[in-house]
Amino acid sequence: MPNALNQIYMMGAVMLVLVIVHAVCNTFVDYRGHMMGAMMESDMRGELFEHYQKLSFRFYDEQKTGQLMTRITNDSFALSELFHHGPEDIVISLLNFVGAFIILIKINVELTLLVFLFLPIMAVYAFYFNKKMKRAMRKSKDRIGDINAQIEDTLSGIRVVKSFTNEKTEKKKFAYENSRFVDSRRDEYKSEAYFYEGMMVFIQLMTIAVIIFGGVGIVNASLDLADLLTFLLYIGILIEPIKRFSNFTRLYQEGITGFDRFMEVLEVEPDIQDAADAIELRHVQGNVEFKDVSFKYKDDYDYVLKNISLDIKVGEYIALVGSSGVGKTTLCSLIPRFYEINEGKILLDGRNIRDISLGSLRRNIGIVQQDVYLFAGTVSDNIRYGKLDASKEEIIEAAKKANAHDFIMELPDGYDTDIGQRGVKLSGGQKQRLSIARVFLKNPPVIIFDEATSALDNESEKAVQDSLEKLTDNRTTVVIAHRLSTVRNAQRIFVLTDNGIDEQGTHEELIALGGAYANLYNVQLKI
């Protein structure tokens, strides 16, 4: 019978085509779905990174880098799986479930109702263990963050660890975090196992109930055997979506706990932002004025600065002296608005810095600090940080002004020498001169030196001092220094004490006054 054979071949061909279509579609969904998840994850990560850069000093004072890194890497990862499989799991299990319900109810109404009696009980069970699961997952995500924070802390301080031979202590600290993580995982897996196995038990109970109820029905002759067997066969298609949904729940909790951690930071409003009508400053002269400024780091802390008033004229070179911890660094970090002041106002060229856009305010202020931060990369990369579009010549010129050119030329690859993470391959004085070259390139009208030479040996100090003086030409300069030799040349010296600015004047005037400054000076002369 060629006709029948033809039909069989036809069927075979159709099935073959279907298999191919199925495989192609599945591959597409799998590949595109995962890519979609990855892209959504990448977008979220980008958004969080951008947000991190907006958050203020106050935020970072309280945070651990390791935790922040975990939020941006680990926590967003679980989300991409959820984004991809979540919709698919929900749609497929819902469709299957409704389909199964229709088929079952057509076979036998009573048995179907019996089966559906289990559902509310299962829902309550699932809800309870899901809550537990969520709590446990959240905890283990926090703990992974703690582990990363611990690693970050130890590795950043690895040189200190080794010099104190405190490897054992660090290992203990790490072991503690590590074991706390295992504990949280234990809770997580326990509730997961209870949840999943519980659901399986309910599914089996469902089948047993159908067999018993159906068996009784057969004995009473209210049900025929064929119906019961068909029903039992089809109950499998109801079980499948329930299992799928249980799997989805885990995925969901994993993703949503990550999402919560993610959103927690994303929802932090940067506490220092541009005002709605912030102005862009174009040509800054460099007049800096403090009017009755009071500041404390946190609301429940004491004031660090109280009623500070000072007026620094355009191009003036002033020095700020005072004992350690009195608030000199704090005062300087208020000018670029790293922290928001509590009372009073700070003016740049007569404008309240709160009305100036942060970008244009900070572009006009250069800061050289005692601990220099250099980025991993080459010497020229780091100098270029002061002006991203600087030419090679400009970089060299800045390096020359900063007395850095000579030592750079002696490095193995000159300007292309890799300086290691945080510039570990350079000496303190060299790092400081690079940071000054960076500010030369930036060329701001206001400059702050915060103990820039305090940690240096005499020779480097002289080189740095020399380049500092070049930098101060025609700029408003605030110098904080321990060594009074550095401040002698200042046009005005302000002495900061716990009571505010106690004395001000030139070196000679303050010596003649015989107050706090004269005391500091005499003490240093004796050493």
Q: Which residues bind Mg ion (CB under 5 A)?
A: 329
Closest CB to Mg ion among residues 156, 329: 329
Instruction: Report what 326 binds from Mg ion, ligand ADP, none; CB cut-off 5-8 Å by kind.
Output: ligand ADP
Q: State the pairing for strand pair 288-295/305-312.
A: antiparallel
Residue pair 447/285 in contact (Cβ under 8 Å)? The answer is no
| Residues ≥6 apart with Cβ < 8 Å to 445 | 284, 285, 286, 364, 475, 476
Cβ 344 to ligand ADP, closest distance in Å?
A: 17
Closest CB to ligand ADP among residues 183, 343: 343
Q: Which of helix, strand or coil describes residue 493? A: strand
Closest CB to Mg ion among residues 37, 322: 322
Closest CB to ligand ADP among residues 67, 380: 67
Closest CB to Mg ion among residues 63, 329: 329
Residue pair 428/434 in contact (Cβ under 8 Å)? The answer is no
Instruction: Report what 325 binds from Mg ion, ligand ADP, none; CB cut-off 5-8 Å by kind.
Output: ligand ADP
Instruction: Report what 61 binds from ligand ADP, Mg ion, none; CB cut-off 5-8 Å by kind.
Output: ligand ADP
* Best CA proximity match to 438, nearest among 366, 340, 363, 364: 366
Instruction: Report what 230 binds from ligand ADP, Mg ion, none; CB cut-off 5-8 Å by kind.
Output: none
Residue 89 half-sphere exposure toward CB, CA atoms < 13 A: 17
Give Cα 224 distance to the centre of its chain. 66
Closest CB to ligand ADP among residues 235, 481: 481
Cβ 454 to Mg ion, closest distance in Å?
A: 9
Cβ 272 to ligand ADP, closest distance in Å?
A: 14
| Residues ≥6 apart with Cβ < 8 Å to 155 | none
Distance of alpha carbon 70 from alpha carbon 526, whole angstroms: 52
Instruction: Report what 324 binds from ligand ADP, Mg ion, none; CB cut-off 5-8 Å by kind.
Output: ligand ADP
Instruction: Report what 239 binds from Mg ion, ligand ADP, none; CB cut-off 5-8 Å by kind.
Output: none
Closest CB to ligand ADP among residues 236, 325: 325
Cβ 359 to ligand ADP, closest distance in Å?
A: 23
Residue 332 is given by DSSP the state: H
Instruction: Report what 330 binds from ligand ADP, Mg ion, none; CB cut-off 5-8 Å by kind.
Output: ligand ADP
Instruction: Report what 346 binds from Mg ion, ligand ADP, none; CB cut-off 5-8 Å by kind.
Output: none
Cβ 461 to ligand ADP, closest distance in Å?
A: 19
The residue number with the shortest CB distance to Mg ion is 329
Q: Assign residue 157 a region (left: φ > 0; alpha: ψ between -120 and 50; beta: otherwise).
A: alpha
* Best CA proximity match to 431, nearest among 443, 419, 445, 439: 419
Closest CB to ligand ADP among residues 101, 297: 297
Closest CB to ligand ADP among residues 398, 479: 479
Instruction: Report what 304 binds from Mg ion, ligand ADP, none; CB cut-off 5-8 Å by kind.
Output: ligand ADP
Instruction: Write out the two tokens for 218.
Output: 């057969």
Cβ 320 to ligand ADP, closest distance in Å?
A: 8
Query: b vs e for 267-278, b when ≥16 Cβ sit within 10 Å of the residue's Cβ?
Result: eeeeebebeeeb
Three-state secondary structure readout of 146-158: HHHHHHHHHHHCH
Cβ 487 to ligand ADP, closest distance in Å?
A: 14
Cβ 322 to ligand ADP, closest distance in Å?
A: 6
Cβ 462 to Mg ion, closest distance in Å?
A: 22
Positions in the binding site for ligand ADP (CB under 6 A): 61, 297, 304, 322, 324-330
What are the angstrom distances between the C-alpha of 57 and each of 9, 33, 338, 361, 450? 74, 39, 6, 16, 17
